[in-house]
Amino acid sequence: MKRGVPGTLVLVLSLAVLAALVLLPMWLVGSSSFKLPREIISRFPTFFPHSFTLQHYQKLLGTSAFPTYFLNSTLVAASSAFVTVLLATLAGYAFFRLEFRGRDFLYRLIMVAYAFPSIVILIPIYLMFAKVGLIDTDLALVIVNVTFALPFSIWMMRTFFASLPRELEEAAAIDGASRLATALYILVPLLRPGIAAIAIFAFVSSWTEYLFASVLIISDAKRTLPVGLSGIIGQYQIDWGLLLAGASLSILPVVVFFALVGRWFVAGLTEGAVK
């Protein structure tokens, strides 16, 4: 549909507001992490740093436990993403292709999981994990993160399977391929975008998880980024340079990940939404 001059003007204006709302804070955080402390808290923020310093990063990486938190988070988030993709693919295929009693009931039941406040299971999970010696381990966080990412991932995966043309399977069946072989060698490779979408979803939700990580991890050496960084907020007298450097480095991995496969993630979200 054609837009007149006023329509174009409104569009450009709203785009500018939207960009300012979403991107400006991120830009200011990133650019300010290179500014000298005095410039960081100047009343009118500079768009580009006038002063340039790496002192905040040197302090963050040299004297704080940030590198440890970063490594822990990377390990936990990558493992959680891997396990979630694996389990969601298995379940997604079963719910999409197999016919068995109680399938639709089970499928809906899984989605009910999100109706429960996660705080409900915090106390019982702590007690259970304490009994089997999982407190203060990375594995505990991986289990919890997979649990929270899995229902939504199964839902997305089933939608991705359903979007593949059915002729593929029929052709493979005529060629004598078993269903498992068809799934493994024909369907799964075509689902790479879906797998990327689920991987990023699971990675991001683990990367940002705070509540369980704050309760299930006790020693500082095992701490993940959100909990560790929130500790740094309180630990020093507010050192904005240090915090902004920490914030920038915490955003970086998800932004890189998102730059690579983000479009599949958004496509996955919207495809799921219309089914």
Q: Which is nearer to other proteins, 54 or 233 (CB)?
A: 233
Instruction: Choose one: 48-56, 57-65, 187-195, 253-261; the region binding other proteins (CB under 8 A).
Output: 253-261
Contact 197, 267 (CB under 8 A): yes
Residue 262 found at the interface with other proteins (CB under 8 A):
yes
Instruction: Decide if 190 contacts 164 (C-beta within 8 A).
Output: yes
Min dist. Cβ of residue 21 to other proteins (A): 7
CB of 13 or CB of 221, closer to other proteins? 13
Q: CA 162 to CA 191: how far, in whole Å?
A: 11
Distance CA 134, CA 166 (A): 44
Rounded to whole angstroms, the Cα distance separating 212 from 121 reads: 10
Beta carbons of 248 and 70 less than 8 angstroms apart = no
Q: Which stretch binds other proteins (CB under 8 A): 47-55, 58-66, 82-90, 184-192?
A: 82-90
Cα(231)–Cα(241) distance, integer angstroms: 15
Among 60, 81, 191, 204, binds other proteins (CB under 8 A): 204
Minimum CB distance to other proteins, residue 232 (Å): 9
- The residue within the footprint of other proteins, chosen from 61, 65, 75, 122 (CB under 8 A), is 122
Q: Which stretch binds other proteins (CB under 8 A): 48-56, 59-67, 190-198, 246-254?
A: 246-254
Site residues for other proteins, window 205-244 (CB under 8 A)? 207-208, 210-211, 215, 225-226, 229-230, 233, 240, 243-244
Q: Give, as ranges, the residues between 129 and 158 that touch other proteins (CB under 8 A).
A: 130, 143-144, 146-147, 150-151, 154
Q: What letter would DSSP give residue 221?
A: G
Helical segments of 132-239, H only: 138-162, 166-174, 179-182, 188-190, 192-208, 211-216, 225-235
| 255 forms part of the interface with other proteins (CB under 8 A) | yes
Crossing angle of helices 240-274 and 225-235, in 10° steps, is 150
Least Å distance between CB 226 and other proteins? 4
Window 91-120: residues binding other proteins (CB under 8 A): 91, 93-94, 96-101, 103-104, 106, 110, 112-120
Cβ–Cβ under 8 Å, residues 84 and 202: yes
Q: Is 111 helix (H, G, I), strand (E, B) or coil?
A: helix
Q: Using the rule CB under 8 A, is 36 a contact of other proteins?
A: no
Q: Taking CB under 8 A as the criterion, which residues in 50-79 touch other proteins?
A: none
